[in-house]
Amino acid sequence: MLLIHVSCPLAHRRRVDCFHNRVPNFIVNLDLFSESNEGQAQSPSSLDLATQQATQLRKLLHRYAHAYYTLDAPEVPDAEYDRLFNQLQSIETQYPELLTADSPTQRVGGAILPEFATVRHQVPMLSIRTETDTQASGAAAFDTRIRKELSLTETDSEVEYVAELKFDGLAMSLRYEHGILVQAATRGDGEYGEDVTHNIRTIGQIPLQLAADVPSVLEVRGEVYMRRDDFDALNQRQLLKIAEGLKGEKTFVNPRNAAAGAVRQLDSNIAAQRPLSFFAYGLGEVLGWPLGVVPFQRHDDLLQTLKSWGFPVAAQTQCVKGATGLIDFHSHIAQQRDRLPYDIDGVVYKVNDLGLQEKLGFVTREPRWAVAHKYPAQEELTTVQAIDVQVGRTGKLTPVAKLAPVFVGGVTVTNATLHNEDEARRKDVRVGDTVIVRRAGDVIPEVVSVVLAQRQADALIFTMPRVCPVCGSPALRDEDEADYRCSGGLFCGAQRKQAFLHFAQRRAVEVDGLGEKLIDQLVDAGVVRTLPDLYKLSLSALLQLDRMAEKSAFNILSALEASKSTTLPRFIYGLGIRHVGEATAKEFARHFGNLDAFMAASMEELLEVSDVGPIVAQSVVTFFSQSHHQEIVAQLRACGVRWEEGLPAERPTKPLSGQTFVLTGTLPTLSRDEAKAMLEDAGAKVAGSVSQKTSYVVAGSEVGSKLEKALALGVPVLDEAGLLSLLNGDPHDGS
């Protein structure tokens, strides 16, 4: 938030308002005057402007801190709060007379909820200075400051530091008396915190009793956090509760928010259901050391001592020397950041020698001997300029927020996925909204939440279009799916490449040599638009493509000619009808005998086919109800694509009719396709997943979870020998 003072004629008021609407995060102090007395306008002094800006910044920071620390419902990203905090700190440094006792710069942050007992920290839980220079220079600057404070010259040895992770969680103080956990308190405002002992006892990583060789009074400082996988599982459970109509349930914005909410539950049973973890990194009050002597003089020895007492300490912690060591650690952790099982937003450097820490001391609210070195923010504020709907190669419709450009996660982001209509509605993202955008590593940027306080009154609720924005075909959504999909299939330009690849694959019509790279060239150059165009390709058109020699072009034309002779099941499968796989295509071909009967079949007629349910039947009806699909089939026939047809064949009774098999792992002599073909010839159905309806699972080597599920459900398991025996008509005892 910046304060901009504008002194201008009254007639220009509309221009200023227009600017303010476009840039809502600026405070505009407007000094208007008429044209007649323009020369008499008095500009405020620099001190007046700084006073106004400081007042506005304090108000905003208090509001954001209250939402973050007290309500556990952050309104803005950490990076935005840090920017505002640094601006206020700069003003108060330049104008010390503006510093007030209630300024956020004079407090660690947080507030005490009235429901919890208040705890006074005997040793204040101070925060540390944040280095917002995310480059290597930030680490070098800290080392330079330390050397200057210690009056070290270039000839003196490098300073040794302990480099740790900066966890994105909730600071916690654990008090042990005679080895027993008696109290757990939040940081609160640094001097007073909240007693949350009842909830902290539910965290398995925190020991409730320590060995006898610990001090009589011991306060262990650390961070309560939630792992990413635990956070995802928690939100999945929350979504199920919401779907069941349970009132008061919600999903959580991020792991830190979820962890804070769990710690500050009045009911410890609720906290126990939310998976929390803990890392220790320091000490508070300590009284009564065994033998009367502190057993360490270095911070890394302190951490080892905490480990020996049973507290978890982050494995990434390292001892390093000088600026080079700090820079290397910062870079190394940056590369690991997105693979860590928990969120961090930076690293922490601490002078290792405790004697030097004491010598360096503190400045206002922060120790001189430590600093938090941030990484580029993974969350930032920006505005939604539009919401477009993109169509994927398989027809999936995805709403995408078009954003005012924002630098987040190390790159400039202009688009962020909203995933699907349900997610867009849940987050209630609208055009014109100010939103928090997150990007971590190579993850697709997404909108985390909306800053509702800045929403425009006329912002419209987003609704997914019911037709494909590319081809105009109906957009359909199955009952058990979150996504809408274009039903245009072969006709839709967005799905064109996928349609060609599917049609030409080995299990479908099979056009040898027609792979992804060649299809990309043909489609991108506009040479082919629909499937029949493949059979109209000329030698000259192929030779114009990159890296296409005459022999290769002849081979493609020969493969296309050969593919014209196919089978009805392959052709049906090659059309790419949603939910119609190979096995279902074979069932349709057997049942109807010819394509025309299949295309004209009603829902009721389709449901008579073995293993075909309402979803598959509706998908077929929808596909052939579109005239462009009928036209494509007619053109393929006109191009010479052919297969044997006839009346529906009576089904002979086969030995494995009505039985369902699942294949898993690698068989000794049979390929997966060979085993599948043999089973289907014997009348069996081959499924992709194990269920209670599965008759047998055929397992080879290197099996996956399918075997585990089969054993859990009591489904008989066969090896290759058992399968061949069954196919030969030998009975199986079901063991």
CA 369 to chain centre: 35
Given the structure tokens 């450009």, which residue do they identify? 405
548 in helix, strand or coil? coil
Cα–Cα distance for residue pair 576/586, rounded to 1 Å: 14
Catalytic site residue from 166, 350, 427, 706: 166
Give the 3-state secondary structure of residue 529. coil
CA distance 490 to 300: 64
User: Which amino acid is residue 239, in one-letter code?
Assistant: L
The verdict on whether 402 is a catalytic residue reads no
Residue (of 72, 190, 37) closest to 127 by Cα position = 190
> For 657, phi and psi rounded to 5 degrees?
-60, 140
- Helices (H), ranges, 41-163: 46-65, 78-94, 136-149
Residue with tokens 């699907």: 420
Residues 625 and 389: their CA atoms lie apart, in Å, by: 24
Q: What is the DSSP string of 297-357?
A: SBHHHHHHHHHHTT----TT-EEEEHHHHHHHHHHHHHHHGGGSSS-EEEEEEEESBHHHH
Strands (E), 451-600: 475-476, 484-486
Q: Find tokens 């620390």 and name the residue.
A: 69
Cα gap 676→671, rounded to integer Å? 9
Coil, strand or helix: which one is 232?
helix
Nearest Cα residue to 294 out of 209, 177, 211, 215: 215
* Element (DSSP H or E) covering residue 262: helix 255-263
Name the residue type at position 690.
V
Of the candidates 258, 47, 266, which has an alpha carbon nearest to the alpha carbon of residue 169? 258
- What are the helix (H) ranges across 420-515? 421-427, 496-504
Query: Is 274:247 a contact under the CB 8 Å cutoff?
Result: no
φ, ψ dihedrals at 447, nearest 5°: -80, 120
Give the torsion sign (CA, 457, 459, 463, 467). positive
The sign of the torsion formed by the CA atoms of 107, 109, 111, 112 equals: negative
Spatial contact of 10 and 32, defined as CB atoms under 8 Å apart: yes
Active site residues per annotation: 166
